[in-house]
Structure 1
Amino acid sequence: MYEVRPGVYQKNAQIAHIIGVKRTAARYRPCSSEKEARERESFKNLILLCLAHHAEVDDKNHGEERYPVDLLREWKRAHEGENGAALDRIQPLSEDQLAALLISVFTPPATRLEKIADQLEQTGTLTSDALRELRNIVTVISDKSGGMEADSARRLAYAAEVFDAQGLRGSANSLAHAADILPSLLTQLDQRLKKLGNFM
């Protein structure tokens, strides 16, 4: 999801069929039954991709060769994780219906960050889940194409790391110092986040 203006979100993903529905589509296979035809339109046969990957996956010349059905199913499983079984039960949706559904369950990054900040304030530490969530948020909002300013995201990630490592009292001094030097710490922050990610 992408915040196009304060409080207004639009999907920034494209819907691709794993097995093509139209005869001219990549990975098209004829349906052997009406049931199979309905399944082709269900969420089970859909994968959400960024615009660039959607174009690549559905490329008329090489899409099927480079992105076979099994690979796209593997991507779908990885993207959806433990939610895959529930998502597979979603009946056919139009793009507008899917966008409305995604918007209805989407929690804006600022709200997710507030929850993490509350945890830091209360405990002075981050759980591995909160750190993973923070890394996901930083990845999304660091994208220069929009959302929260990337520098703000990086500063927040560094602050979270300091709180987690030193506790509340020790981190206060570190955060004051960090406010002066944060612009030069982007590379160091990215390395530390990657290193922490290896332990999860």
Structure 2
Amino acid sequence: MSTSGPSITDIKLLFAKSGNRCSFPKCKAPMALGDTLTGEVCHIKGARPGSARHDPNQLQTDRHLRENLILMCPTHHTIIDDDEGSYTVERLLQIKLAHEETATPVPDDEVARVAISLQQNVSTVGQTGGLSAHTVNAASITVQASGASNPLNERQIQAVENLWRILRNFSNEFSMVVFVDSILLPQEMGAYFNGADNMPVMDSVLEFRDLQAAIAKMAKAGGDAAAMERPFVSQRLWSIFYVIQAIYGRASFMLTSSYKEKQYVNWRNDSGCDQLLRAVLPAIAVDHLKSLQSNALRTTIDSLEDQFLIEAGMRKASSV
């Protein structure tokens, strides 16, 4: 048996029983958006020495078996690996079992498509011993509504408007996260978190010392209700919306981690943010956005919102 990674059979079974959702309790993040993979295959017992929950007595042939794997979104993968005391092997096995018992089965054709892509495009993520799905030929499936007015067409328009309203709510709820990123350089953020410099402006994001603050803001903005609009918009439009939502949450989580670790955890260097952005933006654009030293988060979100408006037919794509 190969020990280089999970077999296609194990990947199929894992994804089929996931319901295409993160296994973390109450998380609704999808593991795949159309042909774009956004989830991560995590090891319950870490694959390498030093990785979370690594068991030196585990047989090498058992490390990549389905029994030792669980699907998570990038944020919850980081959470379980950063808090081994709370997320023990036993608890993760219970989480996995509970999730698979209640998940909606995934159609066989979707299982085959996503599993093959996942096995062919996995890569090691940081020090966690997890496997991250890369983008696989994202398809744009735009709803072609007829010119005549009809209930479905009107509902599609309403869905786009509702999602845009939620995006504006996200902008309001996470305005301070974007603000501090806009006016402070990464080195200045680093000086604040390691105690070398006191910056009063950072008081505006003190609430993000608690991860629950970001979760509460997501709910207040209407993020939980967004899934109701998914059947009425194109796959790409939904993917763009999901990525914008996730970037707000992920950047906030980086602040929480910065307070915890007493050093700046830069969202630009985060594999989860990188993976999300590459799902909907060209690689050259992602590289440019991450290279910006100031106003990077604002520019990134603006770029994503432009893509949303273009896909919705509310703005023309640039010919440049």
TM range (shorter): 0.3 to 0.5
TM-score (norm 2): 0.29
- The structure in which a higher percent of residues are helix is 1
